[in-house]
Amino acid sequence: MSKVIVVTSGKGGVGKTTTSAAFASGLAAKGYKTAVIDFDVGLRNLDLIMGVERRVVYDFVNVINGESTLKQALIRDKRVDNLYILPASQTRDKDALTTEGVESVINELKEDGFDYIVCDSPAGIEKGAFMALYFADEAIVVTNPEVSSVRDSDRILGILQSRSRAAEQGGTVKEHLLITRYSPDRVEGGDMLGMDDIVEILSVPLIGVIPESESVLQASNSGNSVVLDEQSHAGQAYTDVVARFLGEDVPLRFIDVQPKKGFFKKLFG
C-alpha cells in the first residue's frame, strides 16, 4: 500500500525542501521505493538541493500535459537506490497544476509500485501548496521555533483538516510536527520557544527536532542530502525522524544544551 506524504509549513524558508530531500532519501535508504515531487512550479529548487539540477529534461507539468511520460521525467538518484525525483517546471506558473493532472501522476506512481510519494509543498496557501496537500495521507508540518512560523503552521493545519481530499471524504490526514533550526542554548537562555511550548500551542504529535546545524548549508551547497552526512547532528536527527515515521521508538537527540568543552578537554580531547 503506497502512502502520500506532504511536507508543508505555510511559511517560507523554514526547511521544507531540505526536509523533503532528507526524508525521501532516508526512506529510500531503508529500502522503500520512494518518489519525491517538487510542487513549487516556477521556483523549482528540490533538484538543486538533491544535486540533480543538470539531469532535468522533463518536469511535473510536462507529464501532466502529456508532453512526456512519467518515466521520462523521473530522475533516478545516483547515490541512493530506490529514490526518484520529479522536478517542478521552472517556466510555468502554479495554475499549470490541475487536480486531475496531479491525481493521475500520483496514481501512476502508486501503480508503478512506489511505497512512498513525498510531496514538497511551496510556501504560502495558494494553488501549489493546496495541490501538494490535497491527496496526502500524512503530513509533516515543518516549523521553526519562531512566532510567525508557528502561526502559519497552525493555519496550514486548519487547511489540512478542512480542505484535503481526506477531510472532504470525512477522514483525516495524519499530522506530524517537525521542528527545525532548533537551538537548545537559546531555548535554555529564554529567547527561543521550546519544543514543548510549540507542541502545546499546535497540539500535533512531534516526529522530530532538527538542531540548527552548519551541515545543512554544507549539504545543500554540495547537492547532497543532509541525511547522508552521518557525522552531522542534523543528518542523524533526520535519520531518527524516518525511523519514527516507520514506527520505531527512537528517543529525541540533540535537544539539550551540549556541555561546554573545558580547557583541558579542548587541549586533549
What's the closest the beta carbon of residue 204 comes to another protein, in angstroms? 12
CB atoms within 10 A of CB 127: 17
Q: Is residue 127 within the footprint of another protein (CB under 8 A)? A: no
147 binds another protein (CB under 8 A): yes
- Cell (9 digits) for 226: 543532509
Is the Cα dihedral 201, 19, 165, 44 positive or negative?
positive
Amino acid identity, residue 42? G
**Using rule CB under 8 A, residue 183 touches another protein:** no
Shortest Cβ distance from residue 130 to another protein (Å)? Answer: 15
Please tell me the distance from the alpha carbon of residue 167 to that of residue 6, in angstroms, as a whole number.
Answer: 15
Which is closer to another protein, CB of 193 or CB of 227? 193
* Distance in angstroms (rounded) separating the CA atoms of residues 246 and 226: 19
159 binds another protein (CB under 8 A): no
| 187 interacts with another protein by CB under 8 A | yes
Which residues ranging from 237 to 266 are in contact with another protein (CB under 8 A)?
Answer: none
By CB under 8 A, tell whether 151 contacts another protein.
Answer: yes
The one-character DSSP state at 88 is: P
- Choosing from 12, 158, 171, 205, the residue that interacts with another protein (CB under 8 A) is 158
* Contacting residue, 13, 31, 171, 189, with another protein by CB under 8 A: 189
What would the DSSP string read from start to end of 3-57? EEEEEE-SSSSSSHHHHHHHHHHHHHHTT--EEEEE--TTS--HHHHTT-GGG--
Minimum CB distance to another protein smaller for 42 or for 194? 194
Q: Residue 177 interacts with another protein (CB under 8 A)? A: no
- Where along the sequence are the contacts to another protein (CB under 8 A)? 146-147, 150-151, 154-155, 158, 187, 189-194, 197, 200-201
